[in-house]
Amino acid sequence: MRDAPTQVSPAQKEYSPRIGLLRVMLWTLTVLEAAKFVSSWMQWQLLQSAPYSLDAANANDSRQRALNILYWIAYLFTAISFCRWIIKAHRRVREFGAQGMTISPGWAVGYFFVPFLNLVLPYRAMKELWQASESASKWMKRPVPGLLPLWWALWITAGVLGQYSLRLSMQTTTIESLKSATIVGLFDAAIGLSLNLVALRLVTCIAQNLRKNEITASHQPPPTAEEMLEERRQSRLITLNCLLLGLTLTLLIFVVPVFAAMFADFGAKLPAPTQLAFDLSNFFKTCWWFLTPIGILGIWWGFGKLEHRFGRAASLRWLRFLTVIHVLLVLVIVLACFLPIFQLGAVAGGLQ
């Protein structure tokens, strides 16, 4: 017999690790995975119908490129939301009295980015979170549902297929190699679609368990309105800085190379800021996959430590300072790209 649904007060809902944004991002990613599958299938049909026109090939490439850009933007936002939710959920079960958990809230996310350890320890952290969300005092004795190993198997498979698909797509030089990359892309999209649906179910179940614990853990005092407001401000600032980091990398990886190609035959020495932006772009194009998670984790981990040592007020001040630095960096990159155009206009004006 199922338990009757419990009613959660507005204050308790506010303090629970919220999954509203995470749900939206997971559904968005699911839709984009489905779109990628359909687009890859259309590409396969086009390759099977060779010879095809140049216009059809260009339209296919444009569609694939646009979908990939949208997908990776959504993936970044989803990863940020998912990691933040994991940290908050781990902290919450400890507040309910869960003791003896082997992985800290920070490392529950950090192990995703550590080679080799990321094959085992993130699953262990999620398993402990599931068990503790069901019963904080007796979490070690709680069974693990089949949903959890299914999620992890799909996660590992999606990671391997994603890397393989990326390498194949970067090495396509013939029609046959493009066909092989398209087939792998179809399987990758199908696995990703399944993974997102299972992840949705997983986080929903854990969130429901946490809300039930909110009711039973009456010894825990609810947070004050000021504490909740500061937490929301900190969460927004951390998310904003992660987004600004993503925007900076997008400019350096995709936008700056366009200007570099434009000014390749400029015939004059480029301004120092422009040359520096081009050099940074060349560096980040080869290391973005490594620097992006390090940058995001650095923001989370660093400001978590700062808050623990100096308090939330100090953390908020430093987050505001970092936001200003990020905005200025974006503006400097944009201005550096347009600086040679202004210089050329000034020279042309002087000749007239």
Among 118, 111, 196, 201, smallest CA distance to 154 is for 196
Residue 253 covered by a domain: yes
Mean pLDDT of the chain: 79
The Cα 170–Cα 20 span in angstroms is: 36
201 and 83 in a common domain: yes
Interval 71-115: pLDDT, tens = 988 899 899 889 989 998 998 888 888 788 888 888 899 888 887
Residue 218 covered by a domain: yes
Burial letters 242-254, b for 16+ CB under 10 A, else e: bebbbbbbbbbee
Residue 284 covered by a domain: yes
74 and 177 in a common domain: yes
- Please give the pLDDT value at position 11: 39
Among 117, 118, 126, smallest CA distance to 147 is for 126
Residue 5 covered by a domain: no
pTM of the model: 0.58
Residue where a domain stops, chosen among 178, 198, 222: 222
The Cα 216–Cα 97 span in angstroms is: 11
The Cα 331–Cα 352 span in angstroms is: 31
Contact 277, 336 (CB under 8 A): yes
Residue 3 covered by a domain: no
Interval 178-209: pLDDT, tens = 888 888 888 989 999 999 999 999 999 998 88
The Cα 179–Cα 156 span in angstroms is: 24
Number of domains in the chain: 2
215 and 143 in a common domain: yes
- Please give the pLDDT value at position 302: 67
- Please give the pLDDT value at position 231: 64
108 and 240 in a common domain: no
**Residue range 139-162: average pLDDT?**
86
The Cα 87–Cα 102 span in angstroms is: 14
**pLDDT > 60? residue 223:** no
Alpha-carbon torsion, ordered 287, 83, 39, 53, to 10 deg? -20
Q: Which segments within the chain are labelled E, that is strand?
A: none
Higher pLDDT, 233 or 294: 233
pLDDT band (50, 70, 90) for residue 288:
low
pLDDT band (50, 70, 90) for residue 331:
very high
199 and 50 in a common domain: yes
235 and 215 in a common domain: no
316 and 177 in a common domain: no
**pLDDT > 50? residue 14:** no
Tokens 């308090």, residue located = 311
The Cα 131–Cα 103 span in angstroms is: 13
**pLDDT > 90? residue 16:** no
pLDDT band (50, 70, 90) for residue 335:
very high
Residue where a domain stops, chosen among 197, 222, 247: 222
Residue 2 covered by a domain: no
160 and 60 in a common domain: yes
Contact 189, 33 (CB under 8 A): yes
Among 106, 155, 165, 124, smallest CA distance to 301 is for 106
Contact 36, 166 (CB under 8 A): no
Residue 31 covered by a domain: yes
> Residue 182 carries which side chain, given as an amino acid letter?
T
Give the CA count within 13 Å in the CB-facing half-sphere of 28: 18
124 and 247 in a common domain: no
**pLDDT > 60? residue 4:** no
Count CB-CB contacts under 10 A for residue 166. Answer: 16
187 and 62 in a common domain: yes
The Cα 99–Cα 136 span in angstroms is: 8
- Please give the pLDDT value at position 290: 62
The Cα 38–Cα 16 span in angstroms is: 37
67 and 24 in a common domain: yes
Contact 124, 102 (CB under 8 A): yes
Domain range spanning residue 261?
225-352
**pLDDT > 80? residue 293:** no
Integer CA distances (angstroms), 23 to 200, 235, 311, in order: 7, 17, 30
**pLDDT > 50? residue 70:** yes
Residue where a domain stops, chosen among 206, 222, 238: 222
282 and 141 in a common domain: no
pLDDT band (50, 70, 90) for residue 118:
confident
Residue 316 covered by a domain: yes
